[in-house]
Amino acid sequence: MISKTTIDKVFEQSLVEEVVGDFVQLKKTGSNFKGLSPFSNEKTPSFVVSPVKQIWKDFSSGKGGNAVAFLMEHEHFTYPEAIKYLARKYNIEIEETQLNSIDKEKASERESLYIISEYAKEFFKNTLINSSQGKTVGLTYFKERGFSDETIEKYDLGFSPNDQSYFSNSAIEKGYDKGFLEKSGLTIFQNSKSIDRFRGRIIFPIHSMSGRILGFGGRILNTEIKTAKYLNSPESLIYFKSKILYGIYFAKQEIAKLDNCYIVEGYTDVIQLHQKGIKNVVSSSGTALSLDQVTLIRRLTSNITMLFDGDKAGVNATLRGIDLILSAGLNVSVCSFPEGEDPDSYSQNRSFEEVNDFLIKNSQDFIQFKASILVKESKDNPILKAKTINEIVNSIAIIPDRIKQELYVKHCSSIMDVSEEVLFNSLAQRTKNEIPAISKKRISKVEKTSKLQKINILFELERKIIEILLLYGYKEEQFEELILKNDDDGNVLLEPVLVKSIVYKKIFLDLQQDEIEFTNDSFKILYAKIIEEFQENEKLVLDVFLNSMDEELSNQVTSILMSEDQYQLHDWLSKDILVKAKNKVVGQLVTETILSLRTYLINEKVKELQTETKKSNTDNSEILKEINDYYKLKSLLSKKLNRVI
């Protein structure tokens, strides 16, 4: 594990504007930087980086956070990968915490496998470009497929000579350990003889999400040799076939940006489409699609489009993949190619526009796909048609989202000409729930405008308190405390007294005194975290604080902080919310926000008491007196706020 000292140094030395600037073209605007969102196709810049706060916010997608969060979102690094990336960028030595002997051994073995895989990649690349066998066999094949020099270089394509031990002998001469050569699967040792696993094959290196070489795929070109056409590395400490997708390293940004992932069958399908401009494409590397692979995609998008060959094997593999994707809660579409074509062959002699239009026009949701495939088999046979419908309902039953289930049932009803009621009953038998009853209910708009307004008012006031704490919580400010007193005539007065206090302490004590709790769940969690941070450390280091939260809360914080300049909300005054002008001091902002919240809660309490008097048939004099006292207090608060409420 990376030591806390290293992590602290990374946060101290990394600058969010420099980190983001490596990936996004930023332009200085005032104290901030602006640029086009790297997460969506926008034409007007809505991506903001704040050097002062050391955070970024993408208003087009709602994402935001610190430098580490950006790398995890944009490059899809894990947290340790992001820390190591920043450590390398800022020349910070990475210290590891003490590992036990077993963990040390595994870590050392894993790193050794990475090193030897990197060497193999470079060896195969060099052989392809510089050896006579590589040029005449490997390079000729890639050129015939239409791969450009740039594509060959980008994907690290290579060639392994058709000599029994050419690679292995080279690696051993360079000092690489025989044990790791064997564990990586690059070399097979028999009777003290070394045999190159991928001899006589063109090589497709398999990259991790972060770009490291995990293993290799090799294709034999000599059809006279009786051996498997494709061969993959065996599983090892770094390579698990079912947990990696070929091309994910080159596709991840485009998948996230376009919010869709194309899945194809082979290596050349991926490369050909990518070269054509369809870059959000990956392959399951010739294996059946696994749940781990779907989970990997889910980090980038919730939408998958399966591209398959039109033969029976391709159809069956696609049908199996559909249910797996649905069970993971993702949306799945299918696009089939004309008979005799696959993504590679179809793309070779067509333009980007032609290929892209084909994919868009021929992609259909899984129900349409299943219906079209299964209906062909059932023809006019009612028994086979019933089987087809049951197949579709089985897929719908796998979907974990109830709303999606209901929508797909309606879709299936329309396509297959069968009643919704029958489908819902069939679905209920599979899922053991009351979907038929649920389906008959329609959500009505029960919340009236006044109730929505109430929620919005509380939301904005609570949000403002969180904003104040984040921006000014550590500051010492002067406040006017309002002390309740009675004059000689018995009238209630609010006497102002000037006091000094730390902002977070003032807010905490005021809310505690009035027994006010946040109604918004996210704000409630944030408030508790912020107060705890101040109480423990007397300060709040924003990027470190953001790093301690999950993605949802982190986005909430960056949204609040980056909207600091967006003070004006239409018609706030009519909604009993005081809008703070930017030129007002922090103490006044705190006081007025708390007073606005108190006033709002008084209004709600008065409404509650008035409702109580209407329901009660007994003497309401005590309740009316309480209402009158609240009105007096509200009037005093109104004067303090210098406005009529």
Average pLDDT, integer, range 559-583? 50
Q: What is the pLDDT of residue 29?
A: 84
Please answer whether residues 202 and 142 qualify as being in contact, where contact means their C-beta atoms are separated by less than 8 angstroms.
yes
Could you tell me which residue, 217 or 410, shows the higher pLDDT?
Answer: 217
Tell me the HSE value of 263 on the side-chain side, using a 13 A CA sphere: 28
- 93-125 pLDDT, tens digit each: 888 766 566 666 666 788 899 999 999 999 999
Any idea of the CA torsion for 125, 131, 135, 141, to the nearest 10 degrees?
Answer: -50
Q: Is pLDDT above 50 for 435? A: no
| 26 vs 541: CA distance, rounded Å | 24
For the chain, percent of residues with pLDDT exceeding 70 = 80
Q: Is pLDDT above 90 for 270? A: yes
| Cα-Cα-Cα-Cα dihedral sign, residues 337, 340, 341, 342 | positive
- What is the maximum alpha-carbon separation in the chain? 112
Average pLDDT, integer, range 483-492? 63
Region of poorest pLDDT, from 423-437, 540-554, 627-641 = 627-641
Q: What is the pLDDT of residue 411?
A: 83
- 326-342 pLDDT, tens digit each: 888 888 999 988 888 88
Find, among 433, 454, 397, 413, the residue nearest to 605 by Cα: 454
Please answer whether residues 310 and 283 qualify as being in contact, where contact means their C-beta atoms are separated by less than 8 angstroms.
no
By CB atoms closer than 10 A (0-12, 13-18, 19+), residue 69 is buried
At the top level of CATH, the class of 99-239 is: alpha beta
Tell me the three state secondary structure of residue 330.
Answer: coil
Q: With bands split at pLDDT 50, 70 and 90, how would you rate the model's confidence at 630?
A: low
- 135-151 pLDDT, tens digit each: 999 999 999 999 999 99
| 274 vs 148: CA distance, rounded Å | 11
| 561 vs 51: CA distance, rounded Å | 13
Angular region, 240: left φ>0, alpha ψ -120 to 50, beta rest? beta
Q: What is the pLDDT of residue 376?
A: 64
Q: What is the pLDDT of residue 483?
A: 63
Q: Is pLDDT above 80 for 437? A: no
| 641 vs 636: CA distance, rounded Å | 9
What are the two backbone dihedrals, phi and then psi, of residue 236, each rounded to the nearest 5 degrees? -145, -170
Q: Is pLDDT above 50 for 454? A: no
The domain locations on the chain are 4-89, 99-239, 379-440, 449-640
Average pLDDT, integer, range 254-276? 92
Query: Is beta strand 213-220 parallel, antiparallel or unpaired with respect to 230-232?
Result: antiparallel
- 51-64 pLDDT, tens digit each: 878 889 888 888 88
Tell me the three state secondary structure of residue 550.
Answer: coil
Average pLDDT, integer, range 214-228? 86
Give this prediction's pTM.
Answer: 0.61
- 502-525 pLDDT, tens digit each: 888 888 877 877 677 888 888 888
Please answer whether residues 395 and 330 qualify as being in contact, where contact means their C-beta atoms are separated by less than 8 angstroms.
no
**Cβ atoms within 10 A of the Cβ of 27, count?**
10
Tell me the three state secondary structure of residue 57.
Answer: strand
| 340 vs 336: CA distance, rounded Å | 11
Q: What is the pLDDT of residue 584?
A: 52
Residues 6+ apart with CB under 8 A from 39: 58, 60, 61, 63, 73, 74, 256, 257
Q: Whole-number mean pLDDT of the chain?
A: 80
| 604 vs 625: CA distance, rounded Å | 16
Could you tell me which residue, 87 or 400, shows the higher pLDDT?
Answer: 87
Same fold, 4-89 and 99-239: no
- 338-390 pLDDT, tens digit each: 888 889 999 998 999 999 999 999 998 888 887 777 666 666 677 777 877 88
Any idea of the CA torsion for 575, 581, 587, 591, to the nearest 10 degrees?
Answer: -10
Both ends of the chain: CA-CA distance in Å? 57
Find, among 172, 208, 200, 177, the residue nearest to 81 by Cα: 208
| 216 vs 128: CA distance, rounded Å | 15
| 626 vs 161: CA distance, rounded Å | 93
User: From 3.90.580.10, 3.20.20.100, 3.90.1300.10, 3.90.226.10, which CATH number describes the 4-89 domain?
Assistant: 3.90.580.10
Please answer whether residues 265 and 245 qualify as being in contact, where contact means their C-beta atoms are separated by less than 8 angstroms.
no
Q: With bands split at pLDDT 50, 70 and 90, how would you rate the model's confidence at 231?
A: very high
Q: With bands split at pLDDT 50, 70 and 90, how would you rate the model's confidence at 624?
A: low
How many residues would you count in the chain?
Answer: 645
String of DSSP letters for 84-104: HHHHHHTT---PBPP--HHHH
